[in-house]
């Protein structure tokens, strides 16, 4: 009789690294399994309705800025069935996801996750989700040629523990029999693409040798969460979770998510710029001198405010550059000054390239598109010869969009294969 191979937790995770392409996480497994992971809830229906409401469990710094969990896996999944899913497919998805709720505390010490559905998924039913602004992804500048993520489902797993995101992934899509002691149920789909990310001060510095392009002798600052040497995501420049929530129709309580994948050219970034020039191009012309080190001194707001085109052109002429955040602030505010997008981007070393997985949450995708189009600064380049498509134009010389995808993140009760009219029968 063949003896069944019973892997230890550590062997199992190592194997998952090998098959899953999650190499970036492997180095984090050294102490995996030694500290128990807090368990989830008995009744998942007691969890918050909004899948995107993470802030209540995230850590905050002394200024109230939220810190995302350290480790992330993004799963792009195609359903195994063609056409409309059946009730039993739906039940299987509901069961698979509820295993995660029961297995892991909804916190960075356990697991935080959300599940979204693409426009292509809804095409199975022949119509778009009712009341939701969810177009297919498209190129958002004249100088990018991204590939599009049109897989059915997008699952974002996040935890302070690499072993937890990997175990959750394996429980859904591997042969794993349990997740933190709870019997696993397989998700009825196939992972088309598995991407990994991380975000924590010190991690880019620690991983800078894993990627190409950082010039010899350059040290990414230890205090930085991002490869480009600054911190971002200040509370005052982020939308609230309430603001980005769809507020009527069958998907009330959900949100939309655009996810891009960007490559970074750090050789140019570190080669072209001193600290002041970095601040000017990333934040804005007014922030030079105000942003010290990685920017933690700014508190809970980057200092960037909405400026009209005339003011932006004047600044660009005077300073020979326009800032990344500076250009977008106007498009990223409503008439009352509310910020429109909630950015939850993380760094990545997938494929040995310094890159970024960039989820942005907002009530509708066209809001993201308008903010991203403002980043092109096309109207400023027309007025100012020194600012060109990719020259002195924020950080456009340093980032290259490889992929774009759009998803609806429905409210929790509709997270298992919803129909376009908002049923999950």
Name the residues that contact ligand HEM, by CB under 6 A.
226, 228, 230, 232-234, 237, 262, 264, 282-283, 302, 304, 324-325, 328-329, 332, 339, 341, 343, 356, 358, 371-372, 375, 395, 399
> What contacts 241, CB < 8 A, 6 or more positions away?
50, 52, 53, 54, 55, 342
Phi/psi at 275 (nearest 5 deg)? -60, -45
Q: Give dist(CA 271, CA 265) in Å, integer.
A: 10
Residue 358 Cβ vs ligand HEM, minimum distance, rounded to whole Å:
5
CB burial of residue 48 (10 Å; 0-12, 13-18, 19+): middle
Task: Indicate the residue among 131 and 394 with the shorter CB distance to ligand HEM.
Answer: 394
Quote the least distance from Cβ 412 to ligand HEM, whole Å: 27
Least separation in angstroms between residue 195's CB and ligand HEM is 16
Q: CB-wise, 117 or 368, nearer to ligand HEM? A: 368
* Geometric angle at alpha carbon 230, from 226 and 232, rounded to 5°: 80
184 vs 395, which CB is nearer to ligand HEM? 395
Contact status, residue 35 vs residue 109, Cβ threshold 8 Å:
no
Shortest spacing between CB 244 and ligand HEM, in angstroms? 13
Instruction: Find the shortest distance in angstroms from Cβ 262 to ligand HEM.
Output: 6
Backbone angles phi, psi at 197, to 5 degrees: -145, 170
Instruction: Compute CA 277 distance to the chain's CA centroid, rounded to the nearest angstrom.
Output: 27
Asked whether 81 and 127 are in contact (CB, 8 A), the reply is no
> Could you tell me the smallest distance in angstroms from the CB atom of residue 224 to ligand HEM?
10
**What phi, psi does 124 have (nearest 5°)?**
-55, -30
Distance CA(212)–CA(198), nearest Å, equals 17
- Alpha-carbon distance of 425 to 418, in angstroms, equals 8
Output the six-digit token pair for 8: 């230890």
Of all residues in the shown chain, the one whose CB is closest to ligand HEM is 237
Choice between 80 and 241, CB closer to ligand HEM = 241
CB of 243 to ligand HEM, least distance (A): 13
Q: Which is nearer to ligand HEM, 329 or 387 (CB)?
A: 329
Toward ligand HEM, which CB reaches closer, 253 or 364? 364
Instruction: Considering the complex, state which of residue 181 and residue 271 has its C-beta at the smaller distance from ligand HEM.
Output: 271
């Amino acid at each position: 009789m063949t003896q069944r191979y019973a892997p230890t937790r550590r062997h199992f995770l190592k194997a998952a690294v090998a098959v899953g392409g999650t190499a970036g996480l492997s180095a984090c497994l050294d102490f995996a399994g030694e500290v128990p992971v807090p368990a989830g809830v008995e009744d998942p229906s007691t969890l918050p309705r909004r899948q995107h409401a993470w802030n209540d469990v995230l850590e905050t710094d002394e200024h109230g800025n939220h810190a995302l969990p350290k480790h992330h896996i993004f799963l792009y999944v195609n359903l195994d069935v063609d056409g409309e899913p059946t009730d039993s497919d739906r039940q299987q998805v509901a069961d698979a996801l509820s295993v995660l709720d029961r297995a892991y505390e909804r916190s960075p010490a356990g697991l935080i996750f959300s599940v979204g559905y693409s426009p292509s998924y809804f095409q199975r039913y022949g119509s778009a989700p009712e009341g939701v602004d969810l177009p297919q992804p498209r190129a958002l500048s004249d100088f990018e040629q991204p590939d599009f993520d049109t897989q059915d489902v997008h699952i974002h797993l996040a935890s302070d523990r690499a072993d937890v995101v990997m175990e959750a992934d394996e429980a859904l899509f591997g042969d794993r029999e349990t997740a933190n002691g709870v019997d696993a149920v397989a998700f009825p789909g196939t992972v088309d693409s598995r991407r990994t990310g991380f975000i924590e001060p010190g991690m880019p510095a620690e991983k800078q040798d894993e990627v190409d392009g950082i010039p010899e002798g350059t040290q990414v600052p230890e205090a930085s969460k991002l490869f480009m040497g600054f911190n971002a995501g200040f509370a005052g420049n982020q939308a609230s979770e309430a603001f980005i929530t769809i507020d009527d129709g069958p998907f009330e309580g959900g949100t939309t998510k655009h996810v891009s994948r960007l490559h970074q050219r750090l050789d140019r970034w570190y080669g072209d710029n001193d600290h002041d020039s970095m601040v000017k191009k990333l934040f804005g012309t007014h922030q030079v001198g105000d942003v010290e080190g990685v920017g933690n001194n700014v508190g809970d707001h980057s200092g960037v405010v909405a400026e009209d085109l005339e003011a932006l052109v004047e600044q660009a002429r005077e300073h020979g550059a326009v800032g990344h955040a500076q250009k977008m602030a106007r498009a990223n505010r409503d008439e009352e000054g509310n910020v429109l997008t909630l950015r939850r981007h993380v760094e990545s070393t997938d494929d040995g390239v310094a890159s970024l997985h960039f989820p942005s949450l907002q009530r509708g995708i066209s809001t993201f598109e308008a903010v991203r189009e403002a980043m092109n600064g096309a109207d400023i380049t027309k007025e100012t010869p020194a600012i060109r498509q990719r020259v002195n134009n924020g950080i456009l010389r340093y980032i290259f969009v490889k992929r774009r995808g759009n998803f609806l993140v429905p409210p929790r009760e509709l997270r298992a294969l919803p129909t376009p009219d908002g049923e999950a029968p």
